[in-house]
Amino acid sequence: MPLKNFIPPRRLLLGPGPSMVHQRVLRALSTSLLGHLDPAFLALMDDIQALLRIVFQTKNRFTIAVSGTGSAGMEASIVNIVEPGDTVIVGVNGLFGTRLGSMVERCGGKAIHVEAPWGQIIEAETIEATLRRSGPVKAVAIVHGETSTGAWQPLEPIAKLCREHDTLFVVDAVTSLGGVPVEVDRLGIDVCYSATQKCLSCPPGLSPFTLSDRAMATIRARRLPCQSWYLDMALIANYWADGSRAYHHTAPISMLYALREALRLVEEEGLPARFARHRRNGEALIAGLVELGLLPLPPVGHQLPMLTCVTVPPHIPEAKIRADLLSIYGIEIGGGLGPLKGKVWRIGLMGESSTEAHVLTLLNALEDLFIRGGWLSTPGIALRAAARIYGRTTS
């Protein structure tokens, strides 16, 4: 018996990813295919590189979209830089710092974990002390926006330490790129990667990626070939960045159409306005959640505006509320990972998901569910708190 057509249910995506996608991006996905070496497609690749440089705030020649999700970007950053025996300091304050360390070890490197409790930031002083006592260090790897906790990691003091110690600086900007500043050139970041499905509001499947000249020189001077052929940036450079356009792999053509359109939307809005929008909606969301007794996990000053992680009191059935949000209202939010499972909610206001209407829609739904459960006796309290933020920031 043939399968019926798949018609996805309508969802408001307010989880940790993917985010909502603009209709222009969806239309781009349906554009007729070209060959991956067609001159018209190669010109489109040039457009993507130019637009990615704007978002990364860099002039790096090697700025591309890796064919794979953000985890492919993470793996590409490590397998190209790390050779057997290399020492890498890894900031671990959540799931994705842990994953970085695991990738270093799979490459035969030595991962020195500088740890902080989940939800806290990695202190620069701890990185400095580790650099001083660890001998030669190939790289320091840090997660800018830790998706598992909502923590926003300061980069500038660690970037300064990397320059002082002649150490490569690797930054995971999967959640942060396009939502807060990622200043690759100003900070001297050597390797930076992201993902398309977060603040860029493109479907998952590509990883924006940029390398400094110093990082590229390190890759070309490797003693051993990169252990991954598919993610070998020295080979991929011949297709993306070196002008020769030599065949390496068949690029995901439709996804690159979509990314170009998503980046055009970013450019049209402008980075300052986009950052301000994410900040304003994040503040309004937190104001409303606090009125419901849901407190942010990261400390004040280190809370991501586009990914809010709040603790859920033990008397509230967090999984049931998430299930009810999805089944009754069509709203998706995320639960906790690892040691935070069952203890937190992760709410994404990324890219197209970051609007005043979406904030108020979610808070209204949560108020309704909390009233039904007997955990809220003052209707409208969360909505009024959010409205005060919007009144303050738009007046």
Span 31-41, pLDDT tens digits: 999 999 999 99
Q: What is the pLDDT of residue 392?
A: 85
Report the SS3 class of residue 307. strand
Q: Does domain 23-268 have CATH number 3.40.50.970?
A: no
Rg (CA), the chain: 21
Distances (CA, A) of 156 to 142, 194, 211: 12, 18, 18
Q: Report d(CA 34, CA 24) in Å as an integer.
A: 19
Q: How many CB atoms lie within 10 A of CB 391?
A: 10
**Is the N-terminal amide bond of 339 cis, ω within 30° of 0?**
no
Q: Report d(CA 326, CA 140) in Å as an integer.
A: 40
**The two structure tokens encoding residue 131:** 């650099």
Report the SS3 class of residue 76. helix
Residue 255: in which H helix or E strand, if any? helix 253-269
- Residues constituting the chain: 395
Q: Report d(CA 379, CA 384) in Å as an integer.
A: 10
| DSSP E strands, 215-320 | 307-311
Q: What is the pTM of this model?
A: 0.96
CB 142 within 8 A of CB 122: yes
**Nearest residue to 343 (alpha-carbon basis) of 378, 294, 283:** 294
Q: How many CB atoms lie within 10 A of CB 197?
A: 24
Q: What is the pLDDT of residue 93?
A: 98
Report the SS3 class of residue 64. strand
Span 152-173, pLDDT tens digits: 999 999 999 999 999 999 999 9
Q: What is the pLDDT of residue 291?
A: 98
Q: What is the pLDDT of residue 395?
A: 42
Q: What is the pLDDT of residue 393?
A: 55
**Nearest residue to 94 (alpha-carbon basis) of 170, 131, 149:** 149
Q: What is the pLDDT of residue 1?
A: 84
Q: How many CB atoms lie within 10 A of CB 137?
A: 21
Q: What is the pLDDT of residue 247?
A: 86
Distances (CA, A) of 293 to 147, 243, 286, 359, 376: 22, 56, 10, 17, 9
- Residue spans per domain, the chain: 23-268, 270-394
**The two structure tokens encoding residue 313:** 């009191």
Q: What is the mean pLDDT of each run of 10 residues along the chain (395 residues)?
A: 92 98 98 94 96 98 97 98 98 97 97 98 98 95 98 98 97 98 98 98 98 97 95 91 79 97 98 98 98 97 98 97 98 97 98 98 98 95 98 65
CB 203 within 8 A of CB 255: yes
- Cα 185 to the chain's mean position, in Å? 19
CATH architecture of 270-394: Alpha-Beta Complex (3.90)
